[in-house]
């Protein structure tokens, strides 16, 4: 059929075919989601409409068939790659039971139905039954999007796929060989040996090859991505070559690479993006193009076969899902998700259909019935998973215990060396909770120079380093908020930035060299540890973080008495889960069973083993024996002066550096993250006296504003007045903090001050500050006695900052014209913070 511009139907121009497919992939998911239907259905329906039996725009040509088969393999690969391996091992018995149930029931019912009711021969009946005894994880992208890949029911279903598809494809091979009269002892021996050799090669040799490649080839990730694609499709081909099917090879490669590709990594982001936006949609279009609508009008035989196959498939898969739900006490929503995932037919079904048709075991009616069954189940499955998967995601949220120490999780990453910035950002992204909405803060601290030009040059260099970190974070799909600070002391700059942004974790690199003998790491890191109370990760990596298989964690005695111990354990298990690694805990001079109980109280799934070490002297050979390319040493340390501190903890980092080991040193937080009210009964913070509140300032400058506030507590004739004023206005360059647009807090520690004092001033017209673009309307001052520690001062600063964390209430604050209105505002903030 010839159209305008010399075009004919079906379209033959490869450029136009590709363009049409791209439009389908773009438009149909958006259209179907507008009608609250899974977007996954869109390309399938479009394939039917554009296919030869309706509009005849596209035909099942070689290019689309190629991309369709690649998309099918990619789904199976992603299913193996994204599964939680620790949960998979924990649920392997459940997966085995589900696999047996969901294969045996459809196979038996289908064989009996097609043999004795519809009159097919034994070979055809067994082969047809195997077509709907297996299943393909077509709705898996929906599971991934909803974030329930690691749900118990989903892991059980994905694990059962291994059994069902393997057995279904074995049935295909056996029936085909029996039909041809080639089912001999030699065949069984050859098939068994070939499969054993293939599985052994993939499971044992592929990780060695992949680990070597990831360590030695670094080109921004392009080669890593191409390497993964190559091993997936070569592995799939070899699976077919040994007598099984390519989908099993792709799935096995995914399982094997699972530990080497963290969920939060640039490589995983690229793999998911390529599959979900390009390759998998082509497979869905290909499914639609298989459907021949005209067959339904040609007679009743195709209808009978299709209805028989579809009803048997849906009915038996529903029974299998229901039995599994009852056996393992899953929720109703989880039972429906199991059904939705296991009812879709595509991969093994297509393979069995084509082989059976070519050998003459089945005819045209069965062929067309199978294609229609595939179409129907590929519509039903995604719809069920989309509808009930949302309920499963909601159930997950409700079941998760909320612990104040776990939120908010804000990670600060001080950067100084371009060569290590990516590694530090990778660690931070792995530590970040999957459901966290907080950003990561890459930080550069610029030394303040006497010459302004030098400072500006250093700031420019720091911003270039931050730009590199921001680009890398974008590639791994992690939100960031870059920070540059000018400070005389780098350690103080880091601590100030952490305090202002209420950071929970600091991830910092170490080059292995100490600047002074008495120091553990060097001046900057040691000073930062002294001045901070946050959880701190000191990192020295010799290899890429994703190549480690085990975390060897050194646990010192009494470390569980640290207030941040459980958060440290949560972070360790989070890191292990993201890496797909196990944990080997070396408990030194303490009770290993007690620590096992502590680790079990943190609900994140991870494989943890414990070994009791009698003394610090016995620890050295244990660590030395653990130093290799697959182990990441983690020293669970303690700050000097805490109950868990030991001198041996101070020497271990240098010992590990001398051994050229990859290691992390984890310092737990010195205080649990919690909300503590400092409100007086009358509503004001207890450090804010009424006489230190000025609600109607009209001063001409920021300096005059601070001067007016100080005068409420320190007389202008007092020698301290000018020194404090200078400290707050001039000596605090780079430290005065803009809490919110129009709200600034300045702070200092003052000699001869007996108690902490807070000042608050409201300037409705706004006053100009040199470092802030817009006018300042609220000025807060915090003065602490010099005898208070830096940490106490910063903790008080953080507590005050939390009052001003809700921008919605800021207008109400600036409109306060009396102390009663101000008290009411603070009482409201206290209620917000305590919820």
Indicate if the pLDDT at residue 355 is higher than 90: no
Burial class (CB in 10 A: 0-12, 13-18, 19+), 542: middle
- Same-domain pairing of 199 and 220: yes
Whether 3 is in a domain gets the answer no
State CA 463 to chain mean position distance: 27
The per-residue b/e assignment along 229-256, b for 16 or more CB within 10 angstroms, e otherwise, is eebbbebbebbeebbbbbbbbbbbbbbb
- Same-domain pairing of 366 and 418: no
> How far is it, in rounded angstroms, from Cα 304 to Cα 261?
47
- Same-domain pairing of 730 and 597: no
CB-based contact 408:437 (threshold 8 Å): no
- Same-domain pairing of 108 and 218: yes
> How far is it, in rounded angstroms, from Cα 254 to Cα 259?
9
Residue ending a domain, among 399, 428, 462, is: 399
- Same-domain pairing of 695 and 792: yes
| Strand partners for 664 | 539, 634
* DSSP structural state of residue 480: B
Q: Which helix (H) or strand (E) holds 587?
A: strand 582-588
Our CA angle for 94, 96, 99, nearest 5°, is: 105
Strands 663-667 and 631-636: parallel
CATH number at residue 588: 3.40.50.620
CB-based contact 399:443 (threshold 8 Å): no
- Tell me which long-range contacts 559-563 makes (C-beta under 8 A, separation of at least 24): 559/636, 559/638, 559/644, 559/668, 560/594, 560/595, 560/598, 561/643, 561/644, 562/638, 562/642, 562/643, 562/644, 562/668, 562/669, 562/670, 563/668, 563/669, 563/670, 563/671, 563/672
Radius of gyration of the chain (CA): 32
pLDDT one-digit tens code per residue, 589-627: 888 898 999 898 887 888 899 999 988 889 989 998 888
Q: Residue 412's CB: how many other CB atoms inside 10 A? A: 25
pLDDT one-digit tens code per residue, 12-28: 888 898 999 999 999 99
pLDDT one-digit tens code per residue, 768-788: 887 666 788 899 998 888 877
Which segment of 292-306, 310-324, 371-385, 531-545 scores lowest on mean pLDDT? 292-306
> How far is it, in rounded angstroms, from Cα 397 to Cα 400?
5
CB-based contact 592:612 (threshold 8 Å): yes
3-state secondary structure 284-349: HHHHHHHCCHHHHHCCHHHHHHHHHHHHHHHHHHHHHHHHHHHHCCCCHHHHHHHHHHHHCCCHHH
| pLDDT for res 536 | 94
Q: What is the DSSP string of 368-423?
A: HHHHHHHHHHHHHHHHHHHHHHHHHHHHHHHHSPP-GGGSS--EEEE---HHHHHH
From 142, 224, 151, select the one nearest 434 (Cα to Cα).
151
CATH number at residue 226: 1.20.1530.20
From 798, 531, 550, 573, select the one nearest 666 (Cα to Cα).
573
Residue ending a domain, among 540, 572, 591, is: 540
> How far is it, in rounded angstroms, from Cα 356 to Cα 570?
52
- Same-domain pairing of 614 and 497: no
> Which residue range is the domain that position 443 belongs to?
400-540
Indicate if the pLDDT at residue 179 is higher than 60: yes
Indicate if the pLDDT at residue 401 is higher than 60: no
> How far is it, in rounded angstroms, from Cα 191 to Cα 175?
14
> How far is it, in rounded angstroms, from Cα 65 to Cα 47?
12
Phi, psi of 732 (to 5 degrees): -105, 25
| pLDDT for res 833 | 39
Do you find a cis peptide bond into 10, omega within 30 degrees of 0? Answer: yes
* DSSP structural state of residue 202: I
- Same-domain pairing of 534 and 573: no
Extract the tokens encoding 276. 């979900």
- Same-domain pairing of 462 and 596: no
Extract the tokens encoding 481. 């908020």
Whether 5 is in a domain gets the answer no
Q: Residue 773's CB: how many other CB atoms inside 10 A? A: 8
Mapped onto helix, strand or coil, the DSSP state of residue 146 is: helix
Largest CA distance in the chain: 110
Whether 482 is in a domain gets the answer yes
Highest-confidence segment of 120-129, 292-301, 508-517: 120-129
Extract the tokens encoding 28. 């149909």
- Same-domain pairing of 529 and 560: no
Extract the tokens encoding 528. 């930062």
Whether 341 is in a domain gets the answer yes
In terms of pTM, does the model score above 0.75?
no
| pLDDT for res 573 | 92
| Strand partners for 538 | 508, 665
Count how many Cα atoms sit within 13 Å of the Cα of residue 779 in the half-sphere of its side chain.
Answer: 33
- Same-domain pairing of 28 and 155: yes
Extract the tokens encoding 244. 């099984």
Our CA angle for 46, 74, 425, nearest 5°, is: 115
* DSSP structural state of residue 448: P
Please report the sign of the dihedral spanned by the C-alpha atoms of residue 12, residue 14, residue 20, residue 25. Answer: positive
pLDDT one-digit tens code per residue, 639-666: 876 767 777 888 889 888 888 889 999 9
- Same-domain pairing of 645 and 525: no
Whether 680 is in a domain gets the answer no
Residue ending a domain, among 525, 540, 555, is: 540
CATH number at residue 759: 3.40.930.10
pLDDT one-digit tens code per residue, 88-118: 777 788 889 999 999 999 999 999 998 888 8
Chain position carrying tokens 């420019």: 460
| pLDDT for res 537 | 94
Q: What is the DSSP string of 487-554?
A: ESSHHHHHHHHHHHTT-SEEEEE--S--SSTT-SS-HHHHHHHHH--SEEEEEE-SS-GGG--EEEEE
| pLDDT for res 635 | 94
State CA 557 to chain mean position distance: 32
CA distance to 26, 119, 307, 683, per residue, from 133 (Å)? 33, 19, 16, 68
Residues present in the chain in total: 835
Whether 103 is in a domain gets the answer yes
Phi, psi of 13 (to 5 degrees): -70, 120
Structurally, how many domains does the chain consist of?
4
- Same-domain pairing of 229 and 329: yes
> How far is it, in rounded angstroms, from Cα 773 to Cα 768?
8
Whether 1 is in a domain gets the answer no
Query: Percent of the chain having pLDDT more than 70?
Result: 87
């Amino acid at each position: 059929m010839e159209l305008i511009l010399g075009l004919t139907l079906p379209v033959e121009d490869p450029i136009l075919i590709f363009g049409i497919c791209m439009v389908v992939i773009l438009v149909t998911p958006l259209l179907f989601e507008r009608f609250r239907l899974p977007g996954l259905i869109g390309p399938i329906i479009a394939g039917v409409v554009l296919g030869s039996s309706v509009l005849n725009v596209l035909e099942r040509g070689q290019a689309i068939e190629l991309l369709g088969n690649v998309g099918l393999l990619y789904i199976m690969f992603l299913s193996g790659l994204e599964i939680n391996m620790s949960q998979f091992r924990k649920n392997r018995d459940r997966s085995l039971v589900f696999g047996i149930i969901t294969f045996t029931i459809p196979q038996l019912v289908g064989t009996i139905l097609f043999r004795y009711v519809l009159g097919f021969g034994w070979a055809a009946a067994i082969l047809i039954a195997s077509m709907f005894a297996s299943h393909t994880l077509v709705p898996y992208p929906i599971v991934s999007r909803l974030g329930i890949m690691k749900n118990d029911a989903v892991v059980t279903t994905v694990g059962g796929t291994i059994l069902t598809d393997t057995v279904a494809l074995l049935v295909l091979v056996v029936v085909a060989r029996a039909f041809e009269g080639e089912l001999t002892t030699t065949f069984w021996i050859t098939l068994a040996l070939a499969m054993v050799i293939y599985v052994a090669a993939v499971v044992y040799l592929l990780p060695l090859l992949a680990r070597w490649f990831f360590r030695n080839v670094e080109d921004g990730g392009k080669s890593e991505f191409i390497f993964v694609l190559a091993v997936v499709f070569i592995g799939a081909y070899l699976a077919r070559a040994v007598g099984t099917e390519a989908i099993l090879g792709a799935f096995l490669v995914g399982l094997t690479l699972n530990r080497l590709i963290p969920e939060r990594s640039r490589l995983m982001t690229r793999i998911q993006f390529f599959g979900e936006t390009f390759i998998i949609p082509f497979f869905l279009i290909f499914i639609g193009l298989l459907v021949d609508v005209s067959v339904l009008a040609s007679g009743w035989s195709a209808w009978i076969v299709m209805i028989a196959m579809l009803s048997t498939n849906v009915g038996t898969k529903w029974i299998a899902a229901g039995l599994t739900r009852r056996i393992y006490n899953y929720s109703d929503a989880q039972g429906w998700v199991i059904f939705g995932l296991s009812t879709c037919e595509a991969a093994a079904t297509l393979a069995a259909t084509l082989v059976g048709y070519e050998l003459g075991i089945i005819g045209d009616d069965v062929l067309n019935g199978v294609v229609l069954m595939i179409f129907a189940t590929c519509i039903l499955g995604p719809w069920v998973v989309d509808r009930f998967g949302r309920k499963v995601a909601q159930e997950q949220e409700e079941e998760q215990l909320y612990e104040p120490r776990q939120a908010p999780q804000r990670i600060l990453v001080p950067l100084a060396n371009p060569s290590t910035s990516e590694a530090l950002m990778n660690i931070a992204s792995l530590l970040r909770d999957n459901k966290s909405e907080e950003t990561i803060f890459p930080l550069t601290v610029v030394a303040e120079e006497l010459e302004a030009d030098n400072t500006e040059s250093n700031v420019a260099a720091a911003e270039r380093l931050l730009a590199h970190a921001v680009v890398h974070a974008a590639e791994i799909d992690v939100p960031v908020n870059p920070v540059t600070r000018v400070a005389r002391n780098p350690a103080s700059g880091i601590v100030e930035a952490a305090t202002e942004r209420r950071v929970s974790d600091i991830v910092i690199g170490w080059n292995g060299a100490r600047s002074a003998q008495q120091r553990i790491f060097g001046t900057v890191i040691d000073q930062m540890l002294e001045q901070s109370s946050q959880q701190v990760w000191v990192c020295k990596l010799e290899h890429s973080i994703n190549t480690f298989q085990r975390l060897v964690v050194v646990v010192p005695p009494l470390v569980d008495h640290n207030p941040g111990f459980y958060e440290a354990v949560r972070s360790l298990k989070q890191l292990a889960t993201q890496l797909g690694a196990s944990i080997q805990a070396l408990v030194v001079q303490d009770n290993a069973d007690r620590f096992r109980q502590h680790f079990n109280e943190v609900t994140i799934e991870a494989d943890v083993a414990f070994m009791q070490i009698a003394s610090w002297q016995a620890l050295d050979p244990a660590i030395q024996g653990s130093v290799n390319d697959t182990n990441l040493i983690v020293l669970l340390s303690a700050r000097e002066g805490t109950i868990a501190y030991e001198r041996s903890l101070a020497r271990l980092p240098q010992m590990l550096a001398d051994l050229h080991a990859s290691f992390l040193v984890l310092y737990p937080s010195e205080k649990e993250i919690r909300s503590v009210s400092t409100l007086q009964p009358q509503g004001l913070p207890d450090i804010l006296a009424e006489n230190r509140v000025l609600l109607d300032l009209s001063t001409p400058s920021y300096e005059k504003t601070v001067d007016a506030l100080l005068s409420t507590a320190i007389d202008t004739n007092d020698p301290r007045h000018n020194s404090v004023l200078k400290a707050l206005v001039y000596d605090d360059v780079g430290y005065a903090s803009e809490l919110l647009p129009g709200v600034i807090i300045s702070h200092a520690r003052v000699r001869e001050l007996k108690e902490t004092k807070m000042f608050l001033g409201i300037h409705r017209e706004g006053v100009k500050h040199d470092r802030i673009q817009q006018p300042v309307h609220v000025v807060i001052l915090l003065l602490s006695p010099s005898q208070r520690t830096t940490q106490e001062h910063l903790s008080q600063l953080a507590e005050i900052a939390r009052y001003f964390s809700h921008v919605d209430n800021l207008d109400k604050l600036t409109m306060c014209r009396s102390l009663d209105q101000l008290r009411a505002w603070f009482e409201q903030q206290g209620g917000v913070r305590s919820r």
